[in-house]
Amino acid sequence: MKPADFKKWRKSMGLSQKEAAHALGLKRRIIQYYEKGERNGEKVEIPRSVRLACYALTTGISDYTGPDAKPQQLDRDAL
């Protein structure tokens, strides 16, 4: 996922940087690094775990607690 794609994902979900950070379990500053593609002049890669979490959120899943539990659905009001 490229930085522009990450930002496009966030905006398509209607999330602010703060809301995206909360939904992904990250700090807002990390969201800014991912969208810019760099930190202090060095390239920043978006980890696979974050890319997969973006996909899960896109499908409406906000948490996974194991194979025997029903996935928790995204509660936009909690963001």
pLDDT digits (tens, 9 = 90+) for 32-60: 999 999 999 999 999 999 999 999 999 98
User: What is the value of pTM for the model shown?
Assistant: 0.83
Domain boundaries defined on the chain: 3-78
Q: Which residues pair with 61 in a beta bridge?
A: 73
Q: Please state which of the four CATH numbers 1.10.260.40, 1.10.238.10, 2.60.40.1080, 3.40.640.10 is assigned to the domain occupying 3-78.
A: 1.10.260.40
Mean pLDDT, rounded, for 54-75? 84
Count of all residues that appear for the chain in the document? 79
Q: How confident is the model at residue 66 (pLDDT cuts 50, 70, 90)?
A: confident
User: How far apart are alpha carbons 20 and 26 in whole angstroms?
Assistant: 8
Q: How confident is the model at residue 64 (pLDDT cuts 50, 70, 90)?
A: confident
CB 17 within 8 A of CB 31: yes
H/E segment holding residue 61: strand 61-63
Structure tokens belonging to residue 50? 């974050």
The reported pLDDT for the residue numbered 63 is 85
